[in-house]
Chains A and B, each alone.
Chain A
Amino acid sequence: MSVLVLADHDRGALSPATARVVGAVSELGPVDVLVVADDPSAIAQSASTLSGVAKVLTAKGSSLADGLETLLSTLTVRYHYVVASAGSVGKDVMPRLAAKLDLMPVTDIIAIRGPNSFDRPIYAGNAIQTVTDNQLRHVLTIRASAFRPAASGNAAPIEALDNPVASAANLIATHRTESDTPDLATAQIVVGGGVALGSAENFQLIEKLAKKLGAAIGATRAAVDAGYAPNDWQVGQTGKIIAPDLYIAIGISGALQHLAGIQGAKKIVAINTDPEAPLVKLADVALIGDLFEIIPQLIAELDRLGLKR
């Protein structure tokens, strides 16, 4: 049973999600990784070190859905599984590929029970569906945060394909959020802020605490809609799904659409003025009070304890 994994990458580097996808599917069979990028070589190099990888394939082009669909559908004949992470590229291309191949995809997988048995969340994570996929070929997306990364140390061969990757669409602009914080979807610690922060300037309090902890930064939809935080920080049903060891939720009520994004968190800390807020009820540890007083004190206290990351 052979597996093809579509690699995720950003700014010329392999994304942490890919190691987790490879880790998740390597029990299904030998894994080939496909890297599609304008300059795939460095990304392919990183992918080749992942354990479980048999071969890395590279193609030059953009990550737009129609182009990737065409390339993947020609490669698919050689594989039993075609897999991507449930990130924005995987979500965009895999259902398209599946329909092209007349297959029903299984997406956002959080557990692999066997070669054709998968768990996926529905209703914003309030229910888990277990599905059996008896189709001849499987098109899957994996929720990376639910799996542990593959080890490195491998040196798989790299093979360049000469298939062109052409799209009818054109990428004409990218608007990215410049920050040096860790990748939100795979971070070990996340500090999240809600609309209670009140402004983009105040949101820097969250960023300061995150920096102290070496954490990624999350936000609620309400905070993003209000312009306090960029859209790619949004956590929840429509944002990113996170599964950190520690999630610190500050001034966040805990609407079920937000909770959908944090169910995989091992420990949850809540800071909120309202003892009845759903997130306070759900948290492992909660502190009731005003975030504007608490955050500076907390940073000072962590300094005093000599916490370093």
Chain B
Amino acid sequence: MKILVAIKRVVDHNVRIRVRPDGTGVETSGVRLSMNPFCKHAVEAAVQLSEAGHGDEVVVVSIGPKTANDVILTALAMGAHRGILIETDAALETLAIAKLLAKVVAEENPDIVLLGKQAVDDDSNHVGQMLAALTNRPQATFASEIKVVGQGVEVTREVDSGRETLSLPLPAIVTADLRLNTPRNAALPMVMKARSKPLAARPAAEFGVDLAPRLVVEKISPPPERVAGKTVDSVAELAAFIAADVSNMEAL
């Protein structure tokens, strides 16, 4: 079985971002970048499946600038076998990303494609579902458990009402939620070994996909600021505030 994992390099989730005053975007220069946390869970899931004898090869792919190499190296150090960097300096929309990934799926023909459920920068939560449509494969998004059963997989998903378990025939697309596993920190020898694993860099233009954006981003603005509040000294004061607020609420 072959597993493909799509990983994205994003502004580190611990960084408190700043919106540029001119409304053109978010300040990303000089900011720490790392692998999207959800993608880390996807890589970990793929490596665990492979270690359990279900994956002969784990291939990771990232779309981005040359520097996105470092998240591929992280994934290789975690145990993936081979990397593909699709190089572009353009900020691509999710549809273009999914189309590029669909080309990789056509070339590699993986049994399972794992993605993060969302990227923490744009928070789109699109790419896995789009890739599933473009490759005409069944999908299980927001996975918190993946089991290989017979010729298919059983995936438990986190949904609004709790959890549900789907069984899917392969090939299929799965997107990872945070409770899927605990991603490993690669030990130094693995980091060294990662450098000798195969990593192909290919320009995005080579894939013959229309990458032009469909949406126009007019501006990026900061969210409305909250007015500063106060600290009360007693439970009685707090209760009085809550009771007053509740009695002022509109009945819905």
Residues of chain A touching chain B, judged by Cβ–Cβ distance below 8 Å, are 8, 10, 64-66, 69, 87-89, 91-100, 102-108, 117, 121-135, 149, 167-177, 185, 188-189, 213, 221, 224-225, 230-232, 237-238, 240, 245-246, 248, 256-257, 263, 267-269, 271, 275, 280-288, 294, 297-298, 301-302, 304-305, 307, 309
Contact = CB atoms under 8 A, between A and B. Distances in A.
A240 B123 contact: no
A99 B11 CA distance: 26
Given A104-B95, A231-B162, A286-B229, A246 B242 contact: yes
Interface in B145-163: 154, 156-163
B89 interface: no
Contacts of A240: 160
A237 B120 contact: yes
Contact of A122 (B123, B138, B163): B123
A305 B243 contact: yes
B123 A237 contact: yes
Contact of B161 (A123, A129, A173, A176): A176
Contact of B239 (A103, A134, A245, A302): A302
Contacts of B132: 65-66, 96
Interface of B: 11, 13, 16-17, 19, 26, 93-95, 98, 117-118, 120-127, 129-134, 137-142, 144, 154, 156-169, 172, 177-179, 213-223, 226-243, 245-246, 249-250, 252
Contacts, number: 265
B252 A127 contact: no
A307 B243 contact: yes
Given A285-B232, A288-B231, A307-B242, 4 more contacts: A89-B159, A170-B166, A174-B164, A285-B241
B121 A122 contact: yes
A256 B16 contact: yes
18 contacts: A88-B159, A95-B127, A96-B130, A107-B124, A123-B26, A127-B220, A174-B165, A176-B162, A176-B163, A189-B249, A231-B144, A232-B158, A232-B161, A269-B241, A269-B242, A287-B232, A297-B235, A301-B239
Contacts of A8: 160
B230 A285 contact: yes
B13 A257 contact: yes
A175 to B, nearest CB: 4
A95 B16 CA distance: 28
Is chain A's binding surface mostly helix, strand, loop or mixed? mixed
A271 to B, nearest CB: 8
A238 B178 contact: yes
A264 B237 CA distance: 24
